[in-house]
Amino acid sequence: MTEQDLHAPDNVAVTAAPGAAPGVGPAPAARSTGSLSRRMILIAAAWIALLLGVGGYALDRVLVTAVTRNFDAQLDYVLESRLLTSEIGPEGEVTFTRELADQRFLEPGSGLYWQVSAPGQEPFISRSLWDQKLRYGMRHRDAQPHYYDSVQLGGEKLRIVERDAKLPGSPVVWRFQVAENRGGLDDQIDVLRRTLVRSFLLLGLGLVVLAALQTFYGLLPLRQVRREIIRLREGRASRISAAKPVEVAPLVEELNALIEHNERQAEEARRHAGNLAHALKTPLTVIMNAATANAEDLSETVVREARTMRRQVDHHLARARAVGRRGSAHSRADVWPSLESVERAVARLYRHVRIDVDGPKDLQVHVERQDLDEMLGNLIENAAKYGGGSVFVTVAAQAGFVEFLVEDDGAGIPEEERVRIFDRGVRLDTGKPGTGLGLAIVRDVAEIYGGTVGLEESEDLGGLLVRLRLPAAG
């Protein structure tokens, strides 16, 4: 059976570009998704910026709160001093048993003030307020110290603490207030924030530089692999042999395995070419000798030797195709569509033969579809050609393999001939047309894919049983 019989609809002519080798096109340009180093550094920089931003904000809140509380504590100390040293005089006025030590309370506009107020009473103020007064309202009670910011006294920014208290001998509730210009507090916060920003910027820059160095050093083995691949391409090395980190070692091992696989394929291709040349040399010599001698049987000699050369060419082409498509990790073919295609093609050639196919319809094998068709086509065609009119094909899954049983009701093959029949050109029935390469091709292609083929006697039909085992996929 020829490949054209099985794939006639797929035979499409392809025209190569002028000056280009058939089947060879320009190598596609490698697509780039950007620099891996730049991507890693940008991700690290973004993450560092996010962490430092959130951490800096949180630290700023903590430190600003601590500085403000310390400032408020000083105001509260002054307030408590005023409250504890105050009493009501004979005319209902507020007097103090002890003056405050801070001289700024005596300097007008010094930025540090106190005031004692009550509804219907004239406020008692520190000399530093001079002719000004702090605003107050009695709409709410401040039993505990109340801190707030205010802009008064001519737009001066003040930090004020106030508290309500009822003095002994007084029927009214007095409000004690202490205020201080918050310029000093703001200056402390500004210095603190400048220090934080500078420190975090320096820290962020250092972390980004560290990430860049880590990226450069971490990706260094990949750059070394690239340089060694260049050496391979230039022929200065045959393998990547330098020691690599455990993360890169599998990549290097796969590259070396790929190189070894390509070398094996190239060596097999050279061997096939040499075998083919050697096989064609003898027939060509016979034809040349007959032609030179003007032999009477020249035409018969040419036909005979041409048939021999055709058998050799078919055999070696089948092996070359199988070797070239052997990548078992990627090769995958559905069994049932291939069986149906072969069955239809053989049925057209041998209309008197009944072909029955049985087995699961979802099996797959690690074989290229063309090679699977080639093997099944040879086996089923042989069964139809040499059988008595019935061919039975069974397919089943068997422990990591897919097993094909091709049975016929013919005379079978004697057990002593079952090994020799796989040799190239061997035919037990010379009365029927053929090349004697069908089983040899099936054996060679099956072995290339890691499969086996064997001959047995069919118990059901009484003829030959061919058992073909191929690696299962899925």
Q: How confident is the model at residue 261 (pLDDT cuts 50, 70, 90)?
A: confident
Q: Which domains are seen in the chain, by residue range?
A: 35-218 (3.30.450), 235-322 (no CATH), 328-473 (3.30.565.10)
Mean pLDDT of 164-171: 86
* Per-residue model confidence (pLDDT) at position 256: 86
Is pLDDT at 433 greater than 70 in this prediction? no
Q: What is the pLDDT of residue 440?
A: 78
**Residue 321's pLDDT band (cuts 50, 70, 90):** low
Report the predicted TM-score, pTM, of the whole model to 2 decimal places: 0.52
Least confident of 18-22, 26-30, 240-244: 18-22
The pLDDT value recorded for residue 467 is 92
In the chain, the percentage of residues whose pLDDT exceeds 70 is: 83
Using an 8 Å Cβ cutoff, are 373 and 441 in contact? no
Compare 39 and 437 and report the one with higher pLDDT.
39
Whether 227 contacts 241, CB under 8 Å: no
Confidence at residue 181, expressed as pLDDT on a 0 to 100 scale: 94
Measured CA to CA, the distance from residue 432 to residue 397 in angstroms comes to 34
CB 366 within 8 A of CB 332: yes
* Long-range contact pairs involving 157-163 (C-beta distance under 8 Å, separation at least 24): 157/181, 157/182, 157/183, 157/186, 158/113, 158/182, 159/71, 159/72, 159/75, 159/185, 160/75, 160/134, 161/72, 161/75, 161/76, 161/79, 162/79, 162/136, 163/79, 163/83
Q: Please state, in angstroms and rounded to a whole number, the distance separating the CA atoms of residues 227 and 241.
A: 12
pLDDT score, position 241: 80
Pairing between β-strand 354-358 and β-strand 390-398 as defined by DSSP bridges: parallel
Confidence of residue 218 (pLDDT cuts 50, 70, 90): confident
User: What is the rounded distance in angstroms from the CA atom of residue 195 to the CA atom of residue 162?
Assistant: 33
Q: Which of 38, 56, 36, 44 is nearest to 208 (CA)?
A: 44
Q: Closest Cα to residue 133, out of 150, 113, 104, 119?
A: 113
Question: Could you tell me the pLDDT band of residue 49, with boundaries at 50, 70 and 90?
Answer: very high
Q: What is the pLDDT of residue 444?
A: 81
The dihedral of CA 61, 67, 69, 72: what is its sign? Answer: negative
**Is the pLDDT reported for residue 131 higher than 50?**
yes
Please tell me the least confidently modeled range out of 88-97, 191-200, 268-277, 359-368: 268-277
Residue 29 has a pLDDT of 57
Give the pLDDT of residue 230: 86
Question: How far is the C-alpha of 175 from the C-alpha of 165, rounded, in Å?
Answer: 6
Q: Which of 178-182, 390-394, 441-445, 461-465 has the lowest mean pLDDT?
A: 441-445
Label each residue of the chain as H, E or C: CCHHHHCHHHCCCCCCCCCCCCCCCCCCCCCCCCCHHHHHHHHHHHHHHHHHHHHHHHHHHHHHHHHHHHHHHHHHHHHHHHHHCEEECCCCCEEECCCCCCHHHHCCCCCEEEEEECCCCCCEECHHHCCCCCCCCCCCCCCCCEEEEEEECCCEEEEEEEEEECCCCCCCCEEEEEEEECHHHHHHHHHHHHHHHHHHHHHHHHHHHHHHHHHHHHCHHHHHHHHHHHHHHCCCCCCCCCCCCCCCHHHHHHHHHHHHHHHHHHHHHHHHHHHHHHHHHHHHHHHHHHHHCCCCCHHHHHHHHHHHHHHHHHHHHHHHHHHHCCCCCCCCEEHHHHHHHHHHHHHHHCCCCEEEEECCCCCEECCCHHHHHHHHHHHHHHHHHHCCCEEEEEEEEECCEEEEEEEECCCCCCHHHCCHHHCCCCCCCCCCCCCCCHHHHHHHHHHHCCCEEEEEECCCCCCEEEEEEEEEEC
Average pLDDT over residues 419-432: 51
Q: Which of 11-20, 162-171, 350-359, 412-421 has the highest mean pLDDT?
A: 350-359
pLDDT band at residue 294, thresholds of 50, 70 and 90? confident
Tell me, rounded to whole angstroms, the distance of Cα 237 from its chain centroid.
30
Q: In the predicted model, what is the mean pLDDT of residues 28-32?
A: 62
Q: Residues 383, 433: contact at Cβ < 8 Å?
A: no
Which pLDDT score, from 0 to 100, does residue 324 have? Answer: 58
Computed from CA positions of residues 262, 263, 268, 271, in that sequence, does the dihedral angle turn out positive or negative?
positive
Q: Note the pLDDT tens digit of each residue in 330-375.
A: 678 999 999 999 999 999 989 899 999 999 999 999 988 888 988 9
Contact criterion met (CB below 8 Å) for 421 and 456? no
- Lowest-confidence region among 21-35, 226-240, 407-421: 21-35
More confident of the two residues 29 and 440: 440
Please state, rounded to an integer, the average pLDDT across all residues of the chain: 82
Give tens-digit pLDDT for 384-406: 988 888 999 999 998 899 999 99
> What's the pLDDT score for residue 396?
94
Percent of the chain with pLDDT over 90: 35
In this prediction, residue 21 carries a pLDDT of 43
Closest CA to 264 of 349, 194, 324: 324
pLDDT at 326 (0 to 100): 53
Write the pLDDT tens digit of every residue in 407-420: 999 888 877 777 66
pLDDT the model gives residue 292? 86
Mean pLDDT calculated for residue range 70-94: 89
- Taking the C-alpha atoms of residue 408 and residue 350, their distance in angstroms, rounded to an integer, is 14
Between the ranges 17-21, 104-108, 367-371, where is the mean pLDDT highest? 104-108
Residue 27's pLDDT band (cuts 50, 70, 90) = low
